[in-house]
Amino acid sequence: MEILMRETPQEVAQQAADIIGGYVREGSTLGLATGATPLGTYRELIRRHREEELSFAQTQMFLLDEYIGLPYDHPQSYHATIRREFTSHIDVHDEHVHAPAGMAEDVIRATADYERDIEAAGGIDLQILGVGTNGHIGFNEPGSSLNSLTRIKTLHPQTVADNARFFESQEHVPAQVITQGLGTIQRARHLLLLATGKHKAEAVKRLVEGPLAASCPASILQWHRHATVLVDAEAATLLHDAAYYRYVEAHKPSWQRY
């Protein structure tokens, strides 16, 4: 696991866009997170696309998760959110932007179909992740099986409270979601977790330096062969070994890719 620390959220977005851009140039398949954290990164990627530095025409994209029961055109569905915030501003083909079918009549079947779609695309090369204040990734809440596949989950009350800011009120946040499982996420070839702000410091400490445990689903990054944790100064405040992580990056061989 590589820990990269940057001073500000803007520097995190720049570094993340550098890493993602390398994959986009190779026509790789990306896994996308929604939520507030990657928005700066998406804006930076849009800017690079407009400057003609990056084309997404060969890229497939798979969302991590989706609310159950929100119509696709609901502004808070992840299907609509990712188009509004990111993909409608770049040259990715719309049919290459995949999301779990939260409105399917047979939601259970839709979860299996999603696994199959990811596999049929050759798997995910780079999975972008955010982390919940309770340590969730995707919507794998604490207690999620470490080897789970795409499935239905009930949101933790803390996640409902955290996400209420995007809805009229807490009561409007759907209780259930479809999410890629922790096993699904671990199949991605490279995991890139972004975290910014003081409110993420505890989760970052637990995922990087705590035990590998279902009580902190993001700790599965410790088990992955190629995981990068990219944080700003505020999110890094509780890291015990911060000086060592800086030393490692300062001594990174020039041939080693981020």
Residue closer to ligand F6R by CB (options 46, 105) is: 46
Alpha carbon distances (Å) from 210 to 137, 145, 221 = 16, 17, 11
**Residue 34 binds ligand F6R, judged by CB under 6 A:** yes
| Annotated catalytic residue within 134, 140, 162, 232 | 134
**Residue 136 binds ligand F6R, judged by CB under 6 A:** yes
Asked if 213 and 132 count as a contact pair (C-beta separation under 8 A), the reply is no
65 assigned to active site: yes
Residue closer to ligand F6R by CB (options 102, 138) is: 138
- What does the DSSP 8-state code read for residue 140? B
Element (H, E) at 65: strand 65-67
**Residue 36 binds ligand F6R, judged by CB under 6 A:** yes
The span from the CA of 204 to the CA of 155, in Å, is: 20
- Cβ contacts of residue 256 below 8 Å, gap of 6+? none
What is the full DSSP assignment across 15-42?
Answer: HHHHHHHHHHHTT-EEEE--SSTTHHHH
Residue closest to ligand F6R, measured at CB: 130
| Annotated catalytic residue within 44, 115, 125, 141 | 141
**Residue 65 binds ligand F6R, judged by CB under 6 A:** yes
Phi-psi region of 123 (alpha: psi -120 to 50; beta: other; left: phi over 0): left
**Residue 192 binds ligand F6R, judged by CB under 6 A:** no
Question: Site for ligand F6R (CB under 6 A): which residue of 9, 35, 102, 174?
Answer: 35
CB of 193 to ligand F6R, least distance (A): 9
Residue closer to ligand F6R by CB (options 98, 136) is: 136
**Residue 30 binds ligand F6R, judged by CB under 6 A:** no
The span from the CA of 139 to the CA of 160, in Å, is: 11
**Residue 64 binds ligand F6R, judged by CB under 6 A:** yes
Element (H, E) at 127: strand 126-129
| Annotated catalytic residue within 49, 98, 136, 190 | 136
Contacting ligand F6R within 138-167 (CB under 6 A): 138
140 assigned to active site: no
CB of 153 to ligand F6R, least distance (A): 11
What is the full DSSP assignment across 206-253?
Answer: HHHHS--BTTBGGGGGGGSSSEEEEEETTTTTT-TTHHHHHHHHHT--
Residues in touch with ligand F6R (CB under 6 A) = 33-37, 64-65, 130-132, 136-138
What are the residue numbers of the active site? 65, 134, 136, 141
